[in-house]
A and B are shown apart, each in its own frame.
Chain A
Amino acid sequence: QSVLTQPPSASGTPGQRVTISCSGSSSNIGSNTVNWYQQLPGTAPKLLIYSNNQRPSGVPDRFSGSKSGTSASLAISGLQSEDEADYYCAAWDDSLNGSVVFGGGTKLTVL
């Protein structure tokens, strides 16, 4: 059971816009920033969005992030076949001495 809640799967056709949600609580998303990681099959995770809505250099602007209250979302516009991957949200959690918590991951399928 992950601390952050994501839908296990999502899908879309090429060119579509898809969103992936991430729900948390006041001790994590409600207090701190949210990051999104993309994990292509058989590879290490890659930072996709940091600090709620910032893209690292090299990440296409088709990817965008937002946060409201204790929830966050990742949006992918102009969906491409190479976007098929697992997506994880993460945030710092202030509980106990503080730690990083992840969502369970969302497997995105491009139909």
Chain B
Amino acid sequence: QVQLQESGPGLVKPSETLSLTCTVSGGSISSYYWSWIRQPPGKGLEWIGYIYYSGSTNYNPSLKSRVTISVDTSKNQFSLKLSSVTAADTAVYYCARADAGLSSSYYYYMDVWGKGTTVTVSS
């Protein structure tokens, strides 16, 4: 049974770079799409982006200029970097596994989620 675990600093200073890692256990990272999603306090979900195990990426247009997602298949991990953070980036950050493809229409769904990690942006 695949499990995901987020890790990284819980506090980041404004203007610095937020860095998180998601470790995949119980299965190989060498398939599927691997995603990051965030949820500000008391608000809804926001998709940040994904990386395919081969290295191709796709980012939320509203965050694209600040986001980098990378994968390390040797460690079964993928990572998120978000630059120039502000208080608006304070959120619970989730990593998730996604399945995607094209049948009669395009499908993309996140079927395994990590428990989430809280990141606060504050000086």
Chain A residues within 8 Å of B, Cβ to Cβ? 2, 31-33, 35, 37, 43-47, 50-51, 56, 88, 90, 92, 94-105
Contact = CB atoms under 8 A, between A and B. Distances in A.
Contact of A92 (B45, B49, B61, B107): B107
Nearest to B102: A32
Interface of B: 35, 37, 44-47, 49, 58-61, 94, 100, 105-111, 113-116
A38 to B, nearest CB: 11
A96 B94 contact: no
26 contacts: A31-B106, A33-B109, A35-B110, A37-B45, A37-B110, A43-B115, A44-B94, A44-B113, A44-B114, A45-B113, A47-B111, A88-B44, A90-B45, A90-B47, A90-B109, A92-B107, A92-B108, A97-B58, A97-B61, A99-B47, A100-B60, A101-B47, A102-B45, A102-B46, A102-B47, A105-B45
A58 to B, nearest CB: 11
B47 A50 contact: no
Contact of A98 (B35, B37, B45, B58): B58
Nearest to B63: A99
B44 A45 contact: no
A16 B115 CA distance: 31
Contacts of A92: 100, 106-108
A98 to B, nearest CB: 6
Given A32-B107, A95-B61, A99-B59, 12 more contacts: A35-B110, A44-B116, A45-B94, A47-B110, A47-B111, A88-B45, A90-B47, A92-B107, A99-B60, A100-B60, A100-B108, A101-B47
Nearest to A88: B45
Contacts of B60: 99-100
A47 to B, nearest CB: 5
